[in-house]
Amino acid sequence: MNPYPISPIQIVSITFSIFLLVLIAILIRKKKIREEYAILWILIFLIFLLLSIFRGAIDTISSLLGIQYQPASLFLILIASLFLLTFHFSLVISDMKKKINHLAMTLSILEESLSEEEKNSS
C-alpha cells in the first residue's frame, strides 16, 4: 500500500496528530471544550493523521494541483485549515457578542422596573 519506507518525520507527525486527537477527546470528556467547537479541530487533526500515514497522498495532491514543490501543498492545506478555524471563531464570537448585548439590554430594563417597583412600594 505504502511504497515508501516509514521516515522519522512520519513517526513524529503521526505521534503528534494522535496526541492532539487524544487531547481533544480528553477535553471533550472533561467538558472543557464543547463538542460543536471540537468538531473542526478533530477533522483537521484527522486529515493530518491521514496525510502523515499515507505519504504518497501529498505527492498525489501536488501533482493534481500542479504544485511542483510538494511541501507547498502541505502548507496550503495547513493554511486553509487555519483560515477555516479562525473564520469559525469569528462566527462564534459574533454570535456570543449578540447574546451578551441581549443580556445587557434585558438586564438594564429589568433593573429599571425593579427600582421603579421599590420606589412605588416605599
Partner 1 sequence: MKLLVLIPAFNEENTISDVIEETKKNLPEADILVVNDGSTDRTKQILSNHKNIKALHLPFNMGIGGAIWTGFNFFCKKDYELLVRIDGDGQHPPAQARSLIEPLLKKEADLVIGSRFIKREGYLSSLHRRGGIKLLNILTAFLLKKEITDNTSGFRAYSRRAANLLRKDYPFDYPEPIEVYLLSQKGLKIKEIPTEMKEREGGVSSISLMHSYYYLIKVLLTILVNFLYGGKK
Binding footprint of partner 1 on the chain (CB under 8 A): 101, 104-105, 107-109, 111-112, 116
Residues 6 or more apart from 42 whose CB is under 8 A from it? 21, 24
Nearer to partner 1, 60 or 106 (CB): 106
Question: How far from chain centre, in Å, is Cα 20?
Answer: 12
Cell numbers 467538558: residue: 31
- Least distance to partner 1, CB of residue 97, Å: 9
CA dist., res. 22 & res. 39, Å (int): 13
- Least distance to partner 1, CB of residue 106, Å: 8
Query: Is 78 within 8 Å of 53 (Cβ atoms)?
Result: no
Nearer to partner 1, 12 or 109 (CB): 109
Query: Is 99 within 8 Å of 107 (Cβ atoms)?
Result: no
Nearer to partner 1, 15 or 115 (CB): 115
Nearer to partner 1, 32 or 97 (CB): 97
- Least distance to partner 1, CB of residue 110, Å: 10
- Least distance to partner 1, CB of residue 115, Å: 9
